[in-house]
């Protein structure tokens, strides 16, 4: 567990300021608390690192640097001043002679420190857990992993997951239930199933998506098939939302945001100990949001609440309990312009072609427990259980149903009052061991998981509503609800999986990762829709391997390659014409790349080349309820991700991807075409600079650009969405008022007010947001 000793801020030269100390010999944790009380310095450390350690007596006039060095002398710990008022403490690296030959080392600078530190402003994260379920340095992972930390979320004022993903190469927006469901494209393949702390969320089947960022510590993206550790998943990659965890010393944050189109948002973050011995800690994140839109009839309100409790049951056993609740009341945007010829219709951005009373109300609540027990320093058992329940009700009058031959009369449908109820259960058990066999160092992971998802639904038979002239719309008004829910059904799937993974440190700076998984899966669907019945049950099992090799000739350079097979998400909830079954998806990936660090790890570049082949893809047929089996698609290309701090105060994120996308075979239809909404070229650049000294210390500037090349609007490739580039900017100021840190900032997105389409499909296309401003005032204590 991370402990944060927070107090009043120091000045830029506070490390060198002398204080009078009189701290008796005592437990090291208590001594550091006394140091905090006397100087106001922020101290961060892992509790297990200092447990059982004592400090010598400290007296006399000393600088903060001298005091910390003396408290840590002989402890096997080192410290780093990560800013003028923050020091991070950690164990000296294994194998270092420093533990016996010298006292703790002091390094002054803005190097990275613990990601759970609420005052952490670093863009670069040195380790990630998603790729291997073990805390492995990114430089030792033979695969491409990108982390978007909380500091980036704060700087860009990100409130939704899709905006965070613009900082990751090869990840793009995808149409998702009128803007109410998280949906993204990773390395050319669509997915609407983000993960929460390694647990799969299935809210894409309902209107209960668009996860909130208020409770997130960071977002980790693993590129390529991840099914070996997580089960059936899309082959492009995995998006994992890592929640904030409780801290052992109080921290409080209050933020008020306000912006264009009547946007108001209030967030609260509070954490600290519950018991005197700090064995029980809590954290609570709360967000309330109310907003309008540049689109007619679109508005929304949401409430988010995420309480978390951590319990150190013993020195070796700990448990964390999660609750994550989201209430969403919004108007989904299903009335975008249809295509005319090879472009979306030329209509004003605000024009909505559905009806004013469109609505979607959803409630999603997740419960979970994550506990672990360390048998010794080498072997640890971890078990997680999560249950997620989503209920939503939709009223969708005026959904587009095709454009007439005159290219101005839009046929529409009233889907009426639709109910969805889904439940998800996920449990995993892992045993991790570290040991040696001769010159080889192993990190062995043995585990199993069980996943179950069920969605039940009911909705009335759709009814036609008056056509609408897209150039001179006259709305039908309140159409009311269709009360007869005569179309009901359920769909679901489950699987049981076993997996084995070994990370081996070999001689000559080689790292080998090898693993395999066995899946035993079932899926079912039983629909009674519009007088026709659809029912089937499928059973599949499969063994999938993963192997990766990395060479690290020097600590700042890694060269890697990997081969991965994937067992994809079941093609459930979709039918080919006539009710035929669509086979389950499978995939494979080849990848090679390198990683380079500069400036003592402050700046990192990852470059990768990949080729992913996926078979048995279900693709919607335009203006129908049916799907077609594309058969086989292949995406290949390269990616660049640059992240970190170039100079003190200057942070940068630069990403770029090129994707050669092709539908290889599907019975002669669309063969040779690109997959829809996948740009050949895409990327973003974001910079911030904070003044480090002088009267304007704490003043921050930021600027960036997000760009996409032309994309195909459908797999038929019969119309295109033009490319675009939008420019964003930031100005902010950080200062301290007593013990409180005050941050004010204003972000401007799409500064030049570029008109563009973010995603599209044949019957409707989705505008990108015009120029918007968002202000923020945040207090931290």
According to DSSP, the residues that pair with 642 across neighbouring strands are 605, 654
- Using an 8 Å Cβ cutoff, are 644 and 593 in contact? no
Q: Which CATH superfamily is domain 238-780 in?
A: TonB-dependent receptor, beta-barrel domain (2.40.170.20)
Confidence of residue 343 (pLDDT cuts 50, 70, 90): very high
- Provide mean pLDDT across the span 693-719: 93
Provide the pLDDT for residue 478: 63
**Rounded Cα–Cα distance for residues 519 and 449 (Å):** 10
- Using an 8 Å Cβ cutoff, are 127 and 114 in contact? no
CA distances for 197 relative to 231, 314, 385, 649, angstroms: 15, 23, 11, 31
**Residue 591 pLDDT > 90, yes or no?**
yes
According to DSSP, the residues that pair with 751 across neighbouring strands are none
**Rounded Cα–Cα distance for residues 729 and 228 (Å):** 40
Between 201 and 747, the more confident residue is 747
Residue percentage of the chain with pLDDT more than 70: 86
Measured N-to-C along each axis, helices 28-39 and 64-72 cross at an angle, to the nearest 10 degrees, of: 170
Range from 86-95, 163-172, 372-381, 627-636 carrying the lowest mean pLDDT:
86-95
Comparing CA positions, the residue from 326, 328, 325, 289 lying closest to residue 307 is 325
At residue 605, the 3 state secondary structure works out as strand
- Provide mean pLDDT across the span 435-457: 93
Strands (E), 438-556: 440-459, 463-469, 487-506, 510-529, 532-554
Convert the pLDDT of each residue in 90-105 to its tens digit: 776 544 443 333 333 3
At residue 167, the 3 state secondary structure works out as helix
Convert the pLDDT of each residue in 129-161 to its tens digit: 888 998 888 999 999 999 999 999 999 999 998
Comparing CA positions, the residue from 66, 272, 235, 157 lying closest to residue 729 is 157
Q: Which CATH number fits domain 131-237: 2.40.50.140, 2.60.40.10, 3.40.50.10800, 2.170.130.10?
A: 2.170.130.10
SS3 for 93-120 is CCCCCHHHHCCCCEEECCCCCCCCCCCC
Main-chain phi, psi angles of 236, to 5 degrees = -65, -35
CATH topology identical between 2-108 and 131-237:
no
For the chain, the average pLDDT equals 85
Q: Where are the domains of the chain?
A: 2-108, 131-237, 238-780
Confidence of residue 16 (pLDDT cuts 50, 70, 90): low
CATH of domain 2-108: 3.55.50.30
**Residue 36 pLDDT > 80, yes or no?**
no
Residue percentage of the chain with pLDDT more than 90: 52
Confidence of residue 3 (pLDDT cuts 50, 70, 90): very low
- Using an 8 Å Cβ cutoff, are 591 and 608 in contact? yes
**Residue 659 pLDDT > 90, yes or no?**
yes
**Residue 744 pLDDT > 90, yes or no?**
yes
**Residue 11 pLDDT > 60, yes or no?**
no
Which residues neighbour 133 within 8 Å (Cβ) at sequence distance 6 or greater?
198, 229, 430, 432, 445, 447, 501
Convert the pLDDT of each residue in 299-323 to its tens digit: 999 999 999 999 999 989 999 999 9
**Rounded Cα–Cα distance for residues 192 and 189 (Å):** 10
Provide the pLDDT for residue 206: 57
Provide the pLDDT for residue 101: 35
């Amino acid at each position: 567990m991370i402990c944060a000793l927070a107090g009043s801020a120091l000045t830029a030269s506070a490390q060198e300021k002398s204080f009078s100390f009189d701290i008796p010999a005592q437990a090291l944790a208590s001594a550091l608390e006394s140091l905090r009380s006397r100087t106001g310095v922020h101290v961060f450390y892992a509790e297990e690192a200092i447990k059982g350690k004592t400090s010598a007596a400290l007296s006399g006039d000393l600088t903060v640097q001298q005091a910390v060095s003396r408290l840590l002398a002989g402890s096997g710990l080192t410290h780093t001043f990560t800013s003028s008022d923050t020091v991070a403490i950690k164990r000296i690296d294994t194998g270092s002679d420093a533990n016996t030959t010298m006292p703790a080392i002091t390094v002054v600078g803005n190097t990275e420190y613990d990601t759970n530190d609420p005052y952490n402003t670093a863009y670069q994260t040195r380790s990630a857990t998603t790729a291997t379920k073990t805390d492995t340095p990114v430089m030792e992972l033979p695969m491409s992993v990108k982390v978007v930390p909380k500091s980036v979320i704060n700087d860009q004022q990100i409130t939704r997951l899709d905006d965070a993903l613009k900082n990751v190469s090869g990840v793009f927006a995808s149409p998702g239930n009128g803007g109410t469901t998280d949906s993204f494209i990773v390395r050319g393949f669509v997915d609407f199933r983000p993960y929460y702390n390694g647990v799969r969320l299935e809210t894409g089947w309902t209107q209960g998506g668009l996860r909130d960022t208020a409770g997130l510590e960071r977002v980790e993206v693993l590129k390529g098939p991840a099914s070996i550790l997580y089960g059936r998943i899309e082959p492009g990659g995995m998006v994992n939302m890592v929640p904030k965890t409780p801290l052992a010393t109080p921290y409080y944050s209050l933020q008020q945001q306000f912006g264009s189109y009547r946007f108001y948002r209030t967030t609260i973050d509070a954490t600290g100990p519950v018991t005197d011995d700090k064995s029980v800690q809590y954290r609570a994140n709360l967000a309330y949001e109310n907003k309008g839109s540049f689109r007619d009839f679109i508005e929304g309100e949401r409430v988010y609440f995420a309480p978390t409790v951590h319990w150190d049951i013993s020195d070796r056993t700990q448990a964390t309990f999660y609750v994550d609740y989201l209430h969403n009341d919004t108007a989904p945007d299903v009335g975008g312009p249809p295509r005319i010829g090879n472009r979306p219709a030329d209509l004003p951005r605000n024009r909505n072609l559905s009806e004013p009373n469109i609505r979607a109300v959803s409630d999603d609540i997740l419960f979970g427990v994550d506990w672990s027990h360390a048998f010794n320093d080498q072997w640890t058992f971890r078990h997680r259980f999560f249950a997620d329940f989503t209920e939503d009700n939709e009223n969708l009058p005026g959904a587009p149903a095709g454009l007439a031959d005159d290219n101005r009369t839009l046929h529409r449908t009233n889907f009426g009052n639709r109910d969805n109820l889904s439940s998800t259960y996920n449990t995993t058990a892992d045993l991790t061991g570290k040991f040696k066999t001769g010159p080889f160092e192993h990190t062995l992971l043995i585990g199993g998981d069980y996943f179950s998802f069920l969605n039940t639904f009911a909705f009335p038979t759709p009814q036609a509503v008056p056509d609408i002239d897209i150039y001179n719309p006259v709305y039908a008004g309140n159409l009311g609800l269709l009360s007869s829910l005569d179309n009901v059904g359920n769909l679901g799937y489950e699987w049981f999986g076993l997996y084995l993974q070994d990370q081996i440190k070999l001689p000559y700076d080689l790292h080998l990762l090898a693993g395999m998984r066995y899946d035993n899966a079932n899926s079912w669907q039983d629909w009674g829709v519009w007088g026709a019945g659809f029912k089937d049950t499928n059973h599949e099992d499969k063994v999938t391997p993963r192997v990766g090799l990395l060479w690290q000739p020097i600590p700042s350079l890694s060269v890697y390659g990997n081969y991965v097979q994937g067992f994809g998400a079941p093609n459930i909830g979709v039918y080919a014409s006539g009710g035929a079954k669509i086979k389950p998806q499978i995939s494979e990936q080849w990848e090679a790349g390198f990683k380079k660090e500069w400036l003592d790890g402050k700046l990192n570049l990852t470059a990768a080349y990949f080729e992913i082949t996926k078979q048995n893809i279900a693709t919607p047929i335009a203006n129908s309820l049916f799907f077609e089996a594309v058969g086989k698609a292949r995406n290949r290309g390269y990616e660049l991700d640059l992240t970190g701090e170039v100079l003190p105060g200057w942070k940068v994120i630069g990403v770029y991807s090129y994707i050669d996308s092709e539908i290889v075979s599907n019975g002669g239809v669309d063969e040779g075409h690109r997959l829809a909404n996948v740009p050949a070229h895409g990327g973003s650049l974001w910079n911030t600079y904070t003044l480090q000294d002088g009267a304007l210390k704490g003043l921050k500037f930021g600027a960036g650009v997000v760009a996409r090349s032309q994309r195909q609007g459908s797999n038929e490739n019969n119309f295109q969405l033009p490319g675009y580039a939008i420019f964003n900017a930031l100005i902010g100021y950080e200062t301290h008022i007593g013990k409180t840190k005050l941050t004010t900032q204003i972000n401007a997105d799409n500064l030049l007010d570029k008109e563009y389409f973010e995603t599209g499909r044949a019957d409707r296309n989705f505008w990108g947001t015009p120029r918007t401003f968002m202000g923020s005032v945040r207090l931290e204590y």
